[in-house]
Amino acid sequence: MLEFPKLMRPHIAIIEDEKDLVELVRYNLRKEGFEVEGFTSGREGFEHLRRHPADLLILDIMLPDDDGLELCRRLRAQERTRSLPVIFLTAKGSEVDRILGLEMGGDDYVTKPFSPRELVARVKAVLRRRDRSEAPPEIIEVGDLRLDGATREVRLRGKSVELTSLEFKLLRFLASQPQRVFSRDRLLDEVWGTDRFVTPRTVDVHIRRLREKIEPEPNRPRYIQTVRGSGYRFATPAADAHEAG
């Protein structure tokens, strides 16, 4: 597949089944210097984004052929669209609850009817936020453990540890957000994506292998802790000391 050089103008995609609304948003964003691609079908928009990730997606929740939140979840499970910022368009208060119930981080939503000016302001704000907090840090150092995202090297007390690429991905994901609890399903989405046939048990198996490689005492894990009934978290020694005290 051909890769075009990234243009300087931010690319915004909009998926919304109301054609007039797509045109209105397109007109207003273009005026502000954005490139805009509009889709009236969820399926079409999803297929396009998988191949040509945008800088931001404006996504209607109620689409005739799809559910916007479900579509967003599928995009999050894809490597290339994992951190695509999404602004939801919603028509109902009950949808807002569903948006907030998801772990959508720095994203936003706009309630219909909205003014184009408001939406443009939100787009700019989300892009600014994204620019400030891109990607996990390249080097993560916790206790005796050191992860280098660039070289994919892991060291424990200075000694190199051999991890499979999946183990590295899993460890890096957990360690980049210390103390946060992730369910097995969420880890499957984030680390495995949707392409693999895996079950939540798969996560347990990989966590066990990872512990055997990085934990001083695999049966009493210091870093990768089980949170009963919830999932796993990466604990930092300092945070634990704080909790204990």
Residues of this chain that interact with Ca ion (CB under 5 A) are 17, 60, 62
Q: How far is the CB of 17 from Ca ion (least distance, A)?
A: 5
Question: Which residue's CB is nearer to Ca ion, number 17 or number 35?
Answer: 17
Q: How far is the CB of 99 from Ca ion (least distance, A)?
A: 15
Q: How far is the CB of 24 from Ca ion (least distance, A)?
A: 14
Q: How far is the CB of 3 from Ca ion (least distance, A)?
A: 32
Whether the bond into 113 is cis, omega within 30 of 0: yes
Residue whose C-beta lies closest to Ca ion = 62
Question: Which residue's CB is nearer to Ca ion, number 60 or number 167?
Answer: 60
Contacts of 140 (CB under 8 A, 6+ apart): 146, 147, 149, 172, 175, 176
Question: Which residue's CB is nearer to Ca ion, number 43 or number 152?
Answer: 43
Question: Which residue's CB is nearer to Ca ion, number 108 or number 189?
Answer: 108
